[in-house]
Amino acid sequence: MRTELEAMLQVRGITDLIICGMHTEFCVDTTARRALELGYPVVLVADAHTTEGNAYETPRQVIRHHNATLTNISSSDPGSALFPARTWKLNSNQSTLCSPPSGCDHTEVPRVFRSAQK
């Protein structure tokens, strides 16, 4: 499927993607895989995507499976990371990863986001 999303990201200078959403095994899976294929580093928010499950797996099993597989795709150069929603601190200027117990010193920022925050 061809969309204008890649062009929109380029025009806006977006270089890293944070992915969450509905239908883990369809929309979230396809978006993450395509983003990695196009060279975008990806963070999958572990507890911010959902599904109804299917005849073989419960919703929790589908999510667990995708959290494991989408963050371990060895053929992608930019890489991917998995973080729970509580580790995000968002402000109007940038998105930064902060671990609540340790403050926000950026030592826990995944490799794929370090260059964007300098």
Check residue 55 and give its pLDDT.
93
SS3 35: helix
The pTM of the full predicted model, rounded to 2 decimals, is 0.71
Check residue 115 and give its pLDDT.
34
115: alpha, beta or left, given left = phi > 0 and alpha = psi -120 to 50?
alpha
The values of phi and psi at residue 26, to 5°, are -120, -80
Check residue 14 and give its pLDDT.
87
Of the chain, the end-to-end C-alpha distance in Å amounts to 34
Pick the closest to residue 26 from 60, 46, 54 (CA basis).
54
Average pLDDT along the chain, 118 residues, taken 10 residues at a time: 84 88 91 88 88 92 92 76 73 47 40 37
Check residue 65 and give its pLDDT.
92
Distance, in Å, from the CA atom of 22 to the CA atom of 29, rounded to the nearest integer, reads 10
Check residue 104 and give its pLDDT.
42
Q: Which is catalytic among the residues 20, 27, 98, 104?
A: 27
104 a catalytic residue? no
5-85 belongs to CATH 3.40.50.850:
yes
Sign of torsion over alpha carbons 16, 47, 84, 90: positive
